[in-house]
Amino acid sequence: MKKILSLNFLTNFLNFVKFEHSVFALPFALSGAILASQSGFPDIKTIFWIILAMVSARSLAMSLNRIIDKDIDLKNPRTKDRELPLGKISYTQGISFSALSLLMLIISSLQLPKLCLYLLPVTVIWFYIYPYTKRFTALSHIWLGVALGASVIAGWIAVTGTINSYVPIILAFAVTFWVAGFDIIYACQDYDFDKENKLFSIPARFGIRNSLLVSRLFHILTIVLLFSLGLIISPSYIYWLSVIFVGGMLSYEQSLVKHNDLSRVNMAFFTINGWVSIGFFVFILLEKII
């Protein structure tokens, strides 16, 4: 019985922060680290601390989001069954989890170059402000995109200790527009709720049809930026295959969602984007190996 209770308790916390969604940011952080290594690969110790820092950062960001949005989630039919509104996790437990995530992030940053620690306050403040952005700006999608795009720069700094190239910046912008694009698609589900509760989002501001056009524009920008990055780093054909792969996946993602049919939003959000991040990382890894 105790094992079952412990397993349920752990499952609740993993669901609380959607732990599996770490797959969206972590592969790009590792891609940034690999691209930063001029010869060979980052050492195992550095990779370990990058992974721990990224998982901790994402857990902190998501737990803050859930805590700050608790009352909104309770009113929204789509989110009312989340762990905090449902009482599977108490408010105190949520705060404690956030504090633990912050502690692990600080510990990880201390093991990496000093610049990582210096930038940590900016990161935490950015995470804290994000949940409030939907209360005053439709650009909340961009805010989220920057948070995940910064993972590329974080991976680069973890290896080099500095930002000494345009490479991580361009890739970070590509990730920013990728994330903002799929977040707009996801937000279409809450169009009616956001309008009724005076919350800000691109769908609530411009309507679902126009929002999907903005999402497509953002994903086109993602491909343009990845193509531009290729011109700078002069890669082999493997990198160009990654650009084709990402472009194909994003095209497929966009084809799954129509302004009058949002039934496949979850597939577009969870499945396709997981493939995009993991697939891109695999191509970068192969590029380095071969």
Amino acid present at 108:
S
Name the average pLDDT for the chain: 92
pLDDT per position as a tens digit, 211-227:
999 999 999 999 999 99
Query: Which tokens go with 87?
Result: 């009482």
Identify residue 47 by its one-letter amino acid code: I
Cβ pair 272, 19 in contact under 8 A:
no
Other beta carbons within 10 angstroms of residue 256's beta carbon come to 18
pTM of full prediction above 0.75 = yes
The string over 60-79, giving b where at least 16 C-beta atoms fall within 10 Å of a residue's C-beta and e elsewhere, is bbbbbbbbbbbebbeebeeb
Domain limits of the chain? 30-289
CA atoms within 13 A on the CB side of 151: 31
| pLDDT tens digits for range 89-128 | 999 999 999 999 999 999 999 999 999 999 999 999 999 9
Q: Residue-wise over 193-212: b if at least 16 C-beta within 10 A, else e?
A: bbeeeebebbbbeeebeebb
Is the confidence at residue 23, as pLDDT, over 50? yes
Looking up tokens 């996801």 gives: 186
pLDDT band (50, 70, 90) for residue 6: low
- CATH 1.10.357.140 for domain 30-289: yes
> What H or E segment, with its residue span, contains residue 173?
helix 167-187
**Residue whose C-alpha is closest to residue 218's, from 248, 186, 174, 257:** 174
